[in-house]
Amino acid sequence: MNFSIESLYKWYRDVIRNPKYRWWVIGGSLLYLISPLDISPDVFPIIGWIDDGVIAGLLVAELSQVLLTRLKGKKDTTPVDAEVAANATAAEGTFVDVNAVAMK
């Protein structure tokens, strides 16, 4: 089994961006932050705080990305854009038959 910090980060990012599991990951991250059971216990100054800082930083960064993409998605859908998108999806089902002739 190949384990790396990068693969763990990618897994965390993918799971927190999935709406089905987002609240589980947020809850688990918050529980880890307040729990006395850590990878490195908080009784050791500095070293004990590093893992909590990394988890808190990842949580804040990924939640801000999720919120920014959601806000951008809502801003991009203006009434004019929505009407054009509706017409485009309605036009996808229609076909135009053209009798083309090759020219030399």
Yes or no: say if 17 and 62 are a contact pair by the CB < 8 Å rule: yes
pLDDT tens readout for residues 47-84: 888 888 888 998 898 888 888 888 888 765 444 445 54
Kindly report the pTM of this predicted structure.
0.57
pLDDT tens readout for residues 12-30: 888 888 888 888 888 888 8
pLDDT of residue 80: 46
Instruction: Output 5 or 100, whichever has higher pLDDT.
Output: 5
State residue 35 phi and psi, 5-degree precision: -75, 140
Instruction: Output 44 or 89, whichever has higher pLDDT.
Output: 44
